[in-house]
Structure 1
Amino acid sequence: MPTQLFTYWKLHKIPILLALLSLGFYYTFAYHLERTDFIKLITLCGVLFFLCYKLIQFEKWNFRFLLGVGLLFRLIFLFIEPNLSQDYYRFIWDGELVRNFINPYLEVPNTLIANQDLLISNADILYQGMGELSAKHFSNYPPLNQFIFALATWLGGQSILGSVIAMRSLIIISDIGILYFGRKLLKNLNLSPHLIFWYFLNPLVIIELTGNLHFEGVMLFFFVTSLYLLSIKKWILAAVIYALSIAIKLIPLMFLPLFLKHFGFKKSLQFYAVIMATLLVILIPFISSEFIVNYSQTVGLWFSNFEFNSGLYNLIKEIAVRFDAKPWELIKTYGRIIPFITISIVVLTTFLRKNQNLSVLISSMLYILTTYYLLATIVHPWYIVFMVLLAVFTEYKFPLAWSMVVILSYYAYTQTDFKEHLGLLAIEYIVVYGFLIFELFRHHGQKLLFRKN
């Protein structure tokens, strides 16, 4: 055994050292970083992205090694509360409500906290922790997410950290599932299975999902599992699993029209029917007329009242204010227009691309999601994780560049008024558009040139 270990060390010395160095940086990130320390934040992220690249470069065919280090990077965060996000306080609050048979879509924390009979563990801590903005709105997290929150609070007992550990464990398990089904899907698409490690080892994925407890990973587990099932022609089970993905995060709803061409009209209607039936079953415990009104209004607020890390909108706003436009009116107008543009892009992508092919279907999803986030008024860093996963199955890699520079948006958290730095946002979007235009020309412009010749 010592001889084998020595031989392994000799053959993999540099990757092992890189992995140990990464572990040290992730430990520093988890236990010794305040989100107001912007320089330390971007330095850690920059180094971790470089180390991620080198690890994949050296060991891309060594599945066990990369699986092991990816798990170790995640386990470092297991016993610590998130340091870059306060959303988990609302997750636990909602979970406590559901566990006590209170509908989180019908009651706002501001009202409930005044109730002396409220049976919520750590209610005051959760209420203060979630922040004023969250406390005055109904929950905007879909139903399956609510059940997961409830499960986490039950497993965590009356401990906030216990609930965090439960949620984090589920997110880590989901990432393992993404790795498993992602590799199988890559093989079915005749792509190299090692490409999934661009997701599994991506620092943004590890920090925002495992570290900050965002449930995109659980949604993506169901999503990629559904795509894999489609690749082996099990469309009914794929529809059920796809519905579970929507019931975690609503984003996959945007891709449903693409299946019209993938399946054909009759079969796609059957696919949609299975999805709708599954969603209705999940919705039953929460459904009411008030739920529909409250949830739609809460979700609508994010499109017409708030802004964060927006590219195009910030550019338009800077121009508009020079002509005496009022920002609070501009965002409402912009928020009403963007859904129509997004729907138009979805319709065009549905009927103009050959989505019968699964590879083309996935690239169409990436086109739609890219357009949506480039137009959106809110682009939180963890939103880009979905694009990172889609990119793994396509010829495009610009989402990897975006996952690296989106961390610049955290500058806003260093300011007491959360004021963004337009120069840093400009750098972020110059990089994103630069990579995007380069790849569009490389993959499509060259084809047009060859055709002309």
Structure 2
Amino acid sequence: MDKINNKFSFGWVFLSGLITTGILNLGYFNSDRKDILSIWVGFSFLFISYFIILYKFNNPSMRWQNNYLAIISRVILLFSVPILSDDFYRFIWDGSQILHGINPFSYTPKELMSFKYDWVDTLLFQKMNSPNYFSVYPPINQVIFMLSAIPGKGNLLGSVVIMRVFLILFDFGNIYFIRKLLTYFKKDERLVFLYALNPLVIIEFIGNLHFEVVMIFFTLWSIWLLLNNKWILSSVILGLAVCTKLLPIIFLPLFIRYIGWKKTIYAGIICGFVVLILFLPFIHNLKLLENLISSIQLYYGKFEFNGSIYQILKAVGWKFLGYNPIAFTSKILIGLSLIGFLISYLKSKNILEGIFWVMFTYCIFGAIVHPWYILILVALTPFVKWRFALIWSVLICLSYYTYRVEPYDESLWLVLVEYIILGLFMIWEIFYSRDTTDFKDYTDSMQSFKGDVIKKD
């Protein structure tokens, strides 16, 4: 038995070494996101190691080792500068405006540059991706942006480190609440490692500084409070989630099953009041509101990235109209999304499953599906009997191919490969796989990947 344990421990050490080395490589040594082959190879090693750990080393004796690996995998990125995303330049730009008394919704970066303030960091302007648009980031984000911008002009790494400390703490909070919710639903706590060790979660949230990690934190916290009959406080926390990413407002109808129509209406009022109070310092006149709305409309009406159903409608448009009718197709996609939301509200067994399918609907009908958008599905995977979100977290790495040239050029064939494989896996898992039923015993650590696990008393 000791030999077997030593063998398994050596295997875990080897795999954890691959994971930390892969993360270090993507975080520090892969300095060009145009080097797509290096990025794909790096993610391949990370995901292979991740799935083997779930298969072989997610037994009770390895729990603390996997905890340490989840922590170390995040902390080692502390001093890295993101290379797979340039969004953080805009984050720091917005924060520096607030520090100098300028509302980030008042001017576009291009307009602000014309004022020739000596505190403006031209590097941020040169590197950001939307200099002609007003900010679209809600108030919780803006507060963290402001604190991160304290090091000032010429101190990019200092700002990145401050921002990353916040996001690491929020991600630890996600792991904490996933564990708490697993206990509530009487599932094995080791299912948390589906999220905690997922390479895309670590790279996109901690490495690339995307604030969906904060939205997930407030969403999970809100759900935990709701399930513990603290619906008023839950509504307040949901308001904080909305003030991080506007999207969580669509989760509110799922409250009805738990607190009824009347209290859900009150919850919506409380949530709306929190949103109003937090937005008020930034959006306090009609002009500022128009600026925010104009950028949101531009985002959803003009941009596209890695969409699935959208790509089909786009191809039909080019075939029969000779152009991409994105303004029209976006309305079709919104209609399909609303239908999907309604089905999710009515058919889901519990609030976590409901949010899972609502977010899947949002992503599958979206014209913009960045890799970090689907990570809320990974966070909710421990609570549902389907594992296709984990497969999607692998496949969506194909979308990095778009960054190989400037201006960006998306490969329709790779998008098709991504969604065809995802669709086939979903069909197999939902309709043909016996492994999607609940398990009575945790007889094999692979079951943490296969499906629901009922926690033993």
Above 0.5 in TM-score? yes
| Distance (whole Å) between structure 2 residues aligned to residue 407 and residue 43 of structure 1 | 11
Alpha carbons 1:257, 1:347 under 8 Å: kept: no
Alignment of structure 1 residues 396-435 onto 2, 5 Å: 396-435=386-425
Structure 1 equivalent of residue 296 of structure 2: 299
Aligned 8 A contact 1:304 1:335 in 2: yes
The one-character-per-residue Cα deviations of 1:404-444 (angstroms, maximum 9, x if unpaired) are 01010111111233111122111100121112222332489
What is the alpha-carbon distance in structure 1 between the residues aligned to residue 343 and residue 401 of structure 2?
36
Residues in 2 aligned to 1:221 and 1:95: alpha-carbon distance in whole angstroms? 22
Select the residue among 342, 362, 372 that pairs with 1:347. Answer: 342
Answering whether residue 224 of structure 2 is matched by residue 228 of structure 1, we say: yes
CA distance in 2 between counterparts of 1:432 and 1:118 reads 50
1:366 and 2:361 correspond: no
Q: Which consecutive unaligned segments of at least 5 residues does structure 1 have?
A: 448-453
Partners of 2:132 and 2:153 lie apart in 1 by 26
Other-structure match for 1:451: none
- Gaps of at least 5 residues in structure 2 are 438-457
- Counterpart in the other structure of 2:441: none
C-alpha distance in structure 2 between counterparts of 1:434 and 1:89, whole Å: 38
In 1, Cα distance between equivalents of 2:432 and 2:354: 17
CA contact (8 A) 2:252 2:264 kept: no
Alignment of 1:183-262 (within 5 A): 183-262=179-258
Judge conservation of contact 2:194–2:381 (CA < 8 Å) in 1: no
Q: CA deviation at 1:340?
A: 2.6
Q: Which residue of 2 aligns with 1:104?
A: 104
TM-aligned CA distance change 1:10 to 1:419, over 3 Å: closer
Q: How does 1:28-427 map to 2 (within 5 A)?
A: 28-33=25-30, 34-60=32-58, 61=60, 62-117=62-117, 119-120=119-120, 123-131=121-129, 134-154=130-150, 159-287=155-283, 288-327=285-324, 330-350=325-345, 352-353=346-347, 360-427=350-417
Which residue pairs with 2:447 in the alignment? none
Instruction: Give, in whole Å, the separation in 1 of the partners of 2:4 and 2:115.
Output: 65
Distance in 2 between the 1:156 and 1:100 partners? 10
Q: Which residue type is aligned with residue 332 of structure 2? A: I
The one-letter amino acid paired with 1:88 is F
**Structure 1 residue 46: Cα displacement:** 1.3
CA apart distance, 1:9:
6.0
- TM-score, length basis structure 2: 0.89
Q: 1:11 to 1:395 in 2, by over 3 A?
A: closer
Answer yes or no: is the 8 Å Cα contact 2:24–2:76 preserved in 1.
yes
Contact conserved, 1:304 with 1:336, CA < 8 A, in 2?
Answer: no
Report the Cα distance in structure 2 between the residues aligned to 1:168 and 1:178, rounded to whole angstroms: 15
CA distance in 1, matches of 2:176, 2:352: 18
Which whole-Å deviations, capped at 9, do the CAs of 1:392-413 have from their partners, x for residues lacking one?
2111211111110101011111
Return the offset for 1:157.
8.0
**Per-residue displacement from partner, 1:277-325 (whole Å, max 9, x unpaired)?**
2112211211221222111121111221111111111122223322233
Using the TM superposition, give the Cα deviation of residue 203 of structure 1 relative to its aligned residue in structure 2, in angstroms: 0.5
- Counterpart amino acid of residue 400 in structure 1: L
Look up the equivalent residue of 1:48 and give its one-letter code.
Answer: L
1:158 positional shift: 5.7
Identity of aligned residues (%): 34
Kindly report the root-mean-square deviation, in angstroms, between the aligned alpha carbons of the 2 structures. Answer: 2.2
Question: CA separation in 1, counterparts of 2:422 and 2:219?
Answer: 25
CA distance in 2, matches of 1:59, 1:333: 49
Distance 2:238 2:329 in 1: 30
Q: 1:169 to 1:182 in 2, by over 3 A?
A: same
C-alpha contact (below 8 Å) 2:183/2:189 kept by paired residues: yes
